[in-house]
Amino acid sequence: MAFFITSSPHAHSYKSTRTIMKMVALATIPGLIAQTYFFGWGTILQVFIAIITAILAEALILLCRKRPLAPYLSDNSALLTGLLLALAIPPLSPWWITVIGVTFAIVIAKHLYGGLGQNIFNPAMAAYVVLLISFPVQMTTWLPAKELLIESISFSDSIWLILNGLNQDGFSVHQLTMNVDGMTMATPLDTVKTGLKAGLTTNEILSAPIFNGIAGLGWLWVNIGFLLGGVFLLQQRLIHWHIPVSFLVSLFIVSGMFSLLSPDTATSPMFNLFSGATMFGAFFIATDPVSAATTSKGRLYYGALIGALVYIIRTWGGFPDGVAFAVLLANMCVPLIDYYTKPRTYGHKKG
């Protein structure tokens, strides 16, 4: 019997890039369903526009780079980028918001750095931040959950609103965000930030109609949906536990400290864990294997940094949620984190 000697590494993953990307996309389904249920058909329409745009942009840039289309388009990376960005933007954003964002994610944030595996920033979050800074009104106009709407929004209404900004009855997205008292309904995070600036206490703010439970009507279930998807990713060993766990623990600890020190002006840890894009960011964004830290200890530091930054930006930043900014700032720190957390080579003295 012949004995073959091979060099390390000997570990082998039987999941191709195409399979991994597809399974991550499937893991978003619980969150996608919850988001569609509470915030309307616009989410599904944005996903459709984003995926089509991502595939077309990927094909165009591949032709410009003189690369073969079939192997790159079939790896599902462009599809996943479009899907993640579509889930992050308001469901009734104008169609051109999605097209601009996805095109930037594919052409600039991904291929400008060399393509899949070379990008230093998470493409979906880089595009999200560009959109948020360039079009703050459109990117912060979320409808309240369907229970708080004056009139329901049908599938055809969603199409009209996304394509021309008005539904079939002539109402704009801004008009549809008004409740029965004529007050604009913002997201829970935005409501908290605005209320605190107006001098209200957290208890007074949480008495608003948009709050019904831990983290706001609809948002709790959206976060639970993405949490379930994240558990699936962990169970399939498609992501490491270090980043999402350290992210959530860090956010819990930091928000808990401020909640104890100033209960009238700080939100609770549970509110922070189940509002905004917390679970989506922890399991689907921060865990991007290309732009995240690569060492085990480094992943813990990386996730903890994001969790702390999310709370800081939510509390003192200019935008309601801070997940995208926190992830990009942590992406910048990855080379430094990996350098100081790389494992010592066996047989070599430390230092």
Per-residue model confidence as pLDDT tens digits over 196-240? 888 888 888 887 777 776 788 889 999 999 999 999 999 999 999
N-to-C CA span, the chain: 44
Rounded to 10°, the helix 323-341/296-316 angle is 150
Asked if residue 11 belongs to a domain, the reply is: no
Indicate whether 316 pLDDT > 70. yes
* Region 238-259 average pLDDT: 96
Report d(CA 12, CA 14) in Å as an integer: 6
How many CB atoms are closer than 10 A to CB 6? 6
Q: Is the pLDDT of residue 180 over 50?
A: no
Tens of pLDDT, residues 137-170 = 889 888 888 777 777 788 988 898 899 877 777 7
How many domains, in total, are found in the chain? 1
Q: Which of 24-33, 39-48, 311-320 has the lowest mean pLDDT?
A: 311-320
- Is 3 part of any domain? no
What is the C-alpha separation between 244 and 338, in angstroms, rounded? 17
Residue 255 located in a structural domain:
yes
Residue 260 confidence (pLDDT)? 93
Has residue 7 been placed in a domain?
A: no
**Does 247 fall in a domain?**
yes
- What is the spatial distance between Cα 84 and Cα 81, in angstroms, rounded to a whole number? 5
Domain contains 68: yes
Q: What is the arithmetic mean of pLDDT over 305-310?
A: 96
Whether residue 308 lies inside any domain: the answer is: yes
d(CA 260, CA 263): 6
Domain range for 178: 21-338
CB atoms under 10 Å from CB of 293, counted, come to 26
| 118 within domain boundaries | yes
